[in-house]
Amino acid sequence: MQVVIATSNPGKYRELARGLEPLGWELRPLPDFGVELPEETGTTFEDNALMKAATVAQKTRLPALADDSGLVVDALGGEPGIYSARYGGRTNDRDRNVYLLERLRGVPPEQRTARFVAVLALAYPDGHVESYRGEVEGVILEAPRGEGGFGYDPLFYLPELERTFAEMAPEEKARHSHRARALAKLLEAWKDGPPPREIWPLE
C-alpha cells in the first residue's frame, strides 16, 4: 500500500524508509503533497504522533506514518521531552546540544542518565490508527562524539556499546535506536498482514 511518511526531517525519513523495507510499502515523502504538519500541542509523544499522522492522512486521503520522538533526561525532570526539537528556543541541532550541555553543567556522570523515546503512529483516512513505542537507555556525555546521526545523537552514549549514536554506522543505529525498537514492534504487528485496528477520536 501507499503510505505517506509524515515528517519534514530528512534523517527521520531515511531511518523510517530503511526500517519499513520488509513490508514493501510504497512510501511517499510529505513534500510531494504540499501538506504542512500541525502544531504539536499534545502533552505526550503519543498525542503528537497521532495528531500528525491523522492530519496528514485526512489531507492526503492516504495512510500516513508519523513519528514523535525525543530525549528524556532524568536530572532535568524529563526535559527536553516532547520539546526536544525546539528545546530552549534553539533552531538547529548544534545549538540545542550546546543548550543541553549548559543545563547539565556540574551534573556528575552517574546522574546524567537519559532515554530516547520514539512513538510511531499509523493513521488512515477513516480515523483508524495504530501506535508503537520504543525506548533506549543511555547517558548524556559532557561533550559531543561522532559525526553521524542527527539531533542529540552526538551526546547520547550507550554504555553497553561504548559509543554514541553519532559514532555508529546507519546500519548499527538501525538495530539499536529507539526508532528501531518502535519499528520492530510495527513489523511484528504486521508480520501476518494488517493488525486489528482501533479508532482514535478525531476532533
Higher confidence at residue 66 or residue 194? 66
Q: What is the pLDDT of residue 203?
A: 40
C-alpha cell at 89: 528556543
Alpha-carbon distance values, 59 to 30, 87, 131 (Å): 11, 29, 20
C-alpha cell at 72: 528524556
Number of domains in the chain: 1
CATH number assigned to the domain comprising residue 129 = 3.90.950.10
**Residue pLDDT, tens place only, 121-164:** 999 999 899 999 999 999 999 999 999 989 999 999 999 999 99
Q: How far apart are CA 44 and CA 41, in angstroms?
A: 9
Q: Is the pLDDT of residue 72 over 90?
A: yes
Among the listed residues 131, 132, 137, the one whose alpha carbon sits nearest the alpha carbon of residue 182: 132
By residue range, what is the domain housing residue 74? 2-199
Any idea which residues carry the catalytic annotation?
68
**Residue pLDDT, tens place only, 90-127:** 999 999 999 999 999 999 999 999 999 999 999 999 98
C-alpha cell at 21: 523495507
Q: What is the pLDDT of residue 9?
A: 86
Q: What is the pLDDT of residue 197?
A: 65
What is the model's pTM?
0.89
Among the listed residues 193, 63, 181, the one whose alpha carbon sits nearest the alpha carbon of residue 122: 63
Q: Is the pLDDT of residue 69 over 50?
A: yes
Residue list, annotated binding site for Mg(2+): 39, 68
Q: How far apart are CA 178 and CA 180, in angstroms?
A: 5
The position carrying cell 543541553 is 100
Task: Tell me the three-class secondary structure of the chain, residue by residue.
Answer: CEEEECCCCHHHHHHHHHHHHHHCCEEEEHHHCCCCCCCCCCCCHHHHHHHHHHHHHHHHCCCEEEEEEEEEEHHHCCCEHHHHHHHHHCCCHHHHHHHHHHHCCCCCHHHCEEEEEEEEEEECCCCEEEEEEEEEEEEECCCCCCCCCCCCCCCEEECCCCEEHHHCCHHHHHHHCHHHHHHHHHHHHCECECCCCEECCCC
Residue list, annotated binding site for substrate: 7-12, 69, 150-153, 173, 178-179
